A = this chain, B = another copy of it.
Amino acid sequence: MHIQSNFRVQEGSDISALFSAMKPTAVTFYPADSAIYAQGDAAGPVYFVEFGTVRICRVTADGRRQIIAFHTAGDVFGFEAGHEHDCSAESVDGAGIRVLRTNCNETPTGSLLKLALASLSRAQCHMLVLGRRTANERMAAFLLDLSERQGDTNLVRLPMQRNDIADHLGVTFETVSRILRSLKDQGVLLLRSIHEIEILDRASLEDMCE
């Protein structure tokens, strides 16, 4: 299923360089929870998020899952070191994706390098979160990160469900639920609906992750 685009690629950005060098496909719609690629699939093309949210996952043999990252409109994902994907990518909430084929010689490696380094930087940041922060601090960091990506607004959308948040933060979904509750009780958050929260006391959240 192909649908029309609406995301504006910024002139002169690394992404626009990618777009001109690697003719992108039309937008393909992936319904919620559908796979974009699986662990073990052949790697090669990269993917551009037109709208919606994508999760990148790694799973242990006994089924424990770590969500490496969430990607939203404007993000590029899917580059791999080897010849196959060692993470899977799935649509979280219905996502529109363009595929950018790497035509071997004409790929703008400089632009890809910048994007890869940006991913690496985010990954390093998240390793500190996973390795050295408490559950409360993880949630605070996550909410601020979401808010920042959505334009530093205080009304934050949570397109993913509790389970996804938990698997991203390395806690259980019960813990996610409890922490949101506790932040509500402290007057830090207002839980508008399951997928929408309002930040009432941003300073408190920032204190929690310094």
Q: Which residues of A contact B (CB under 8 A)?
A: 56, 58, 60-62, 64-66, 68, 79-82, 86-87, 109-110, 112-114, 116-121, 123-128, 130-133, 167-170, 210
Query: A132 to chain B: which residues have CB within 8 Å?
Result: 60, 64-66, 167, 170
B170 touches A60 (CB 8 A): no
B58 touches A128 (CB 8 A): yes
A81 touches B170 (CB 8 A): no
A60–B208 Cα distance when bound, in Å, is 11
Query: A87 to chain B: which residues have CB within 8 Å?
Result: 124
The number of times this chain is found in the oligomer is: 2
A132–B110 Cα distance when bound, in Å, is 34
Query: A128 to chain B: which residues have CB within 8 Å?
Result: 58, 60, 66, 68
Known pairs A58-B127, A109-B110. 11 more at Cβ < 8 A? Answer: A58-B128, A66-B128, A79-B117, A80-B117, A109-B112, A113-B116, A116-B117, A120-B120, A123-B124, A130-B131, A131-B167
A150–B112 Cα distance when bound, in Å, is 31
A128–B113 Cα distance when bound, in Å, is 24
A125 touches B80 (CB 8 A): no
B127 touches A81 (CB 8 A): no
